């Protein structure tokens, strides 16, 4: 059967958070025709597969697409996020993206949406093929401008993840998606994974009233965490948000080693850790509230024997030893890595755009800004890539150095580009610029924080460059 022939200006592969944010900005700032292809039946990407109690990790005010608010603008009055701005649930996020598609994108007449479809091939000359999962219909697309691969940042969630260890017959093993469906009381719980998903599983069990002594938490590595108090919108939290940035730059500038830098960052309140007696070796940018941190500290059965190799009905075999278990214990898989740290590629390459992080911790703002750069700077690829330097995803403490340096260099480049700073201040996804822009010059305490941040920025960059040179020198040796 011959493929159906189609034509569009931009073909966006993926309707997750990145693809939706990119399309929204492109729709606002150009008259281009847009085609969107995704394997899910509704927009939202990995949110379609997420566990039922998942929420955003940072305020909803900074998430979604530029043109439409996600947050309800309220602070949580109960729960472990009490006193901080709302964190939308997974169901809220999916409903939001469905509304954006049905009430903004499709009514524009410039967006064609192909759900339940898989891309089979894409060429550098601007052609692509995809097919419908449901009926097998094949499509061939001629792309007059560019293909946008919004699937490059591969997101892994427990329900679609295959563990890299062996699970014997007779083991009660499940992704945390299944936890709310338990109908018998288990002997206990073993949470496998020390990242944000593992944190979410532990917090949910505790909030549901599970005795912390019935939870065993296997952590191959401990991680540095971010305080959610320092990521809040509105001037009310200015001392926390902008103050944390000032403290970050000052801590980096004053450090004489990478370890000293992390010690200073922790002392300043920029970083947190669950166990202050264990030195973290991981940094993924996970964000928690102070109340969540205190809850996690109630769990005393923490196993640090490396990665799990095998789970049997009676024991769990790890790199560094073995611990007992039972057939009646629920083993919760939280070992999936949320985002795969693939080697970065240039964002703009001929007829291909590959959205990635260009600001730390903010994938949707990054996607929106990349779309703006595409709309505003035409085919000047060198200029586009100069404004969209990739901030590589971090894994280790050393990665934090490269991650932070890249983000600071981008911020400097944006501040030097006429008109770009204004665009950023007017974009609701910008978690920094809007807060500073709303500041009164007469508010001297807050202006002093801004002064501190700006004074420490250049010394911090210089120090990060020194650390990078040392890291690269060690690797070369």
Looking at residue 348, its pLDDT comes to 97
Q: Please report whether residue 97 resides in a domain.
A: yes
**For residues 401-412, average pLDDT:** 97
Whether residue 342 is predicted with pLDDT greater than 80 in this model: the reply is no
Q: Please report whether residue 68 resides in a domain.
A: yes
Q: Please report whether residue 14 resides in a domain.
A: yes
CA distance linking residue 193 with residue 33, whole number of Å: 43
Q: What is the residue range of 76's domain?
A: 4-155+340-393
Q: Please report whether residue 438 resides in a domain.
A: no
Counted domains in the chain: 1
E-assigned strand segments in 273-357? 282-288, 301-303, 308-311, 315-318, 321-324, 329-333, 348-349, 352-353
Whether residue 431 is predicted with pLDDT greater than 80 in this model: the reply is no
pLDDT (tens digit, 9 = 90+) per residue, 65-79? 999 999 989 999 999
Q: Please report whether residue 72 resides in a domain.
A: yes
Q: Please report whether residue 73 resides in a domain.
A: yes
Kindly state the percentage of the chain with pLDDT values over 70. Answer: 98
CA distance linking residue 335 with residue 324, whole number of Å: 19
Q: Residue 375's domain is classified under what CATH number?
A: 3.50.50.60
Q: Please report whether residue 69 resides in a domain.
A: yes
Looking at residue 159, its pLDDT comes to 66
Q: Please report whether residue 346 resides in a domain.
A: yes
Give 370's contacts (C-beta < 8 A, 6+ positions apart): 22, 347, 353, 355, 358, 388
The pTM is what?
Answer: 0.95
């Amino acid at each position: 059967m011959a493929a159906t022939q189609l034509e569009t200006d931009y073909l966006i592969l993926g309707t997750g958070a990145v693809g939706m944010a990119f399309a929204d900005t492109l729709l606002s700032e150009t008259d281009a025709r847009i085609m969107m292809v995704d394997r899910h039946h509704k927009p939202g990407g990995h949110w379609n597969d997420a566990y039922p109690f998942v929420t955003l990790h940072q305020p909803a005010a900074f998430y979604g697409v530029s043109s439409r608010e996600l947050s309800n603008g309220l602070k949580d009055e109960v729960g472990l996020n009490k006193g901080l701005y709302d964190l939308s649930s997974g169901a809220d996020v999916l409903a939001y993206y469905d509304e954006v598609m049905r009430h903004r994108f499709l009514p524009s007449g410039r967006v064609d949406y192909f759900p339940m479809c898989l891309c089979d091939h894409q060429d550098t000359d601007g052609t692509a093929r995809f097919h419908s999962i449901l009926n097998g219909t094949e499509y061939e697309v001629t792309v007059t401008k560019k293909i946008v691969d919004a699937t490059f940042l591969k997101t892994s969630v427990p329900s679609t993840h295959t563990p890299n260890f062996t699970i014997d017959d007779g083991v009660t093993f499940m992704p945390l998606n299944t936890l709310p469906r338990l109908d018998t009381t288990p002997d206990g719980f073993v949470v496998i994974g020390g990242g944000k998903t593992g944190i979410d599983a532990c917090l949910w069990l505790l909030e549901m009233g599970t005795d912390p002594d019935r939870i065993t938490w296997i952590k191959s590595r401990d991680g540095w965490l971010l305080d959610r108090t320092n990521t809040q919108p509105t001037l009310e939290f200015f001392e926390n948000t902008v103050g944390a940035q000032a403290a970050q730059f000052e801590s980096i500038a004053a450090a004489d080693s990478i370890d000293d830098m992390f010690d200073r960052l922790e002392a300043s309140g920029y970083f947190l850790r669950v166990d202050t007696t264990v030195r973290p070796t991981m940094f993924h940018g996970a964000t928690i509230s102070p109340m969540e941190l205190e809850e996690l500290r109630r769990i005393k059965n923490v196993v640090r024997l490396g990665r799990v190799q095998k789970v049997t009905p009676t024991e769990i075999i790890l790199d560094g030893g073995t611990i007992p278990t039972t057939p009646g214990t629920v083993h919760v898989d939280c070992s999936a890595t949320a985002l795969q740290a693939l080697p970065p590629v240039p964002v703009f390459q001929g007829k291909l755009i590959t959205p990635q992080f260009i600001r730390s911790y903010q994938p949707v703002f990054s996607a929106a800004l990349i779309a703006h750069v595409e709309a505003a700077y035409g085919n000047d690829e060198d200029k586009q890539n100069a404004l969209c330097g990739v901030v590589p995803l971090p894994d280790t403490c050393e990665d934090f150095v490269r991650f932070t340096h890249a983000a600071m260099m981008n911020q400097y480049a944006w501040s030097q580009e006429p008109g770009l700073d204004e665009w950023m201040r007017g974009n609701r996804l910008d978690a920094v610029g809007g807060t500073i822009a709303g500041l009164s010059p007469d508010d001297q305490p807050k202006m002093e924080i801004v002064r501190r941040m700006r004074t420490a920025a250049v010394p911090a960059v210089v120090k990060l460059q020194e650390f990078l040179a040392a890291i690269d020198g060690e690797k070369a040796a």
